[in-house]
Amino acid sequence: MASRIAAVYDVHGNLPALDAVLTEVPEDAVILVGGDVAMGPFPGETLERLRSIGDRVRWIRGNADRELAPDEAGLAPPDALDWVRERLSAEQIEFLHGLPERLELEIDGLGPVLFCHASPRNDVDVFLEGTPEERVVPLFADVEATTVVCGHTHMQFAREIAGIRVVNAGSVGMPYEDEPGAFWALLGPEVEYRRTVYDEAPLEGTEVPIRYFSGERPTRAEVTEFFSTFAVGA
């Protein structure tokens, strides 16, 4: 059983954001990396920063981690995948691809908590704070944990689905929020939503072909409207 867990999701190769968050994670907290680690401007450096922490880190795989391997279908832009692949070793790609899809941990004050990237069903489902419950319930059909933590949409939210507390931890490296910063969650004995402010200057001029890192950052409302067009059941 863990006393506290820092849910660090969707880092997306943003090493400055990750480093800032790590300075705020309590020393007694386990770090749960919630997938989509490397798909961003500093892919190898970000992965190795987390691996250097050792056994304190627990891992699950996101869709952008899986899609780095050949012949994997998914959502990540092909040009961004190619750019990141060129900057990772075969061993690093194999490590990311081999991570588990989900992980259940017992946390003080919360009981059994299931960590997944997008939904308990797979790593690509999209559901939002306002997606009608009847469309989302099937994703949680086989879940026995009382709390589920996810990410994937890069927006923090909390809701209840079929009696299960659902926590979206947000995104450390590529958030779709209306305030700047790196977004994550601290669990145990309660759920705390965190925002860490950091210096974004090192991201300027990076070459990764992802529009977000070239300054094209949509608002939360704009992303919510876009995601709603292909959320589950839409």
Q: What is the pLDDT of residues 20-56, one digit of tens each?
A: 999 999 999 999 999 999 999 999 999 999 999 999 9
Cis check for the bond before 189: say yes or no (omega within 30 of 0): yes
Structural element, H or E, at residue 24: helix 15-24
What average pLDDT does the structure give for the chain? 96
Q: 210: closest CA among 76, 96, 68, 11?
A: 76
For residue 9, what pLDDT is reported?
98
What is the rounded distance in angstroms from the CA atom of residue 131 to the CA atom of residue 119? 13
pLDDT at 60 over 90: yes
Residue 108 pLDDT level (bands cut at 50, 70, 90)? very high
**Tokens of residue 160, six digits:** 């209840």
For residue 134, what pLDDT is reported?
96
3-class SS shares of the chain: helix, strand, coil, % to 5:
30, 20, 50
**Sign, CA torsion 113/183/150/177:** positive
What is the rounded distance in angstroms from the CA atom of residue 195 to the CA atom of residue 213? 19
**Regarding the domain delimited by 5-228, which CATH topology (the fold level of the hierarchy) does it fall under?**
Purple Acid Phosphatase; chain A, domain 2 (3.60.21)
